[in-house]
Amino acid sequence: CRDVYFNKNIELFNPIDLYIGVDGNYPLKNHIWATKEMLKAYPNEYEELKDKPHLCAAVIFGKNKKLISLCKDVFDYTFESEIKEKRSTVDQMSLNVLAYKKYNYLPTNNTFVINLGCTDWNYSNSFYIYHQYDRFKNFFKYIKKNLKKSIL
């Protein structure tokens, strides 16, 4: 599965406590797929989250202690979901609820990660990580590669 393309060395990005990639640059209420999934998984949480950007569980990073805590909380919270089937998106919905409500996460608008599955891409912007690049026709034709070499 080709889902994530690393365009730049992520170790050169300024360290932060927690980073979660945004799944589209618009509020949850305008994200058709995520709204449907959130209403299935955590219907009582939707009103509080509908004006916030939907977060993507596929691209998260940060300090070990914070990530371990978040991942454990997400796992535990999935069992409080309305969804009881094995294959679902409840982990991503759980991440959104907890990131905003427990961890007070504030998404940053930067050029670190772009989710090409649902975000319009201005080709003049270069990102460290391109998530779901395999869904973008002729991706490598448009990518600006960072050819600088650096020593860590």
Six-digit token pair at 87? Answer: 């294959």
Mean pLDDT of 92-107: 95
At 145, give phi and psi (nearest 5°): -80, 140
CA dihedral 68, 100, 83, 73 (to 10 degrees): 20
pLDDT at 130: 87
Write the pLDDT tens digit of every residue in 39-79: 999 999 999 999 999 998 888 888 899 999 999 999 999 99
- Of residues 27 and 125, more confidence is placed in 27
Confidence of residue 144 (pLDDT cuts 50, 70, 90): low
* Residue 29's pLDDT band (cuts 50, 70, 90): very high
84 pLDDT higher than 80: no
Between these two residues, 36 and 140, which has the higher pLDDT value?
36
- Between CA 82 and CA 73, with CA 99 as vertex, the angle to 5 degrees is 65
CA distance linking residue 19 with residue 61, whole number of Å: 5
Q: What's the Cα-to-Cα distance from 135 to each of 22, 82, 120, 131, rounded to whole Å?
A: 17, 30, 12, 9
Q: Residue 47 has what DSSP assignment?
A: H
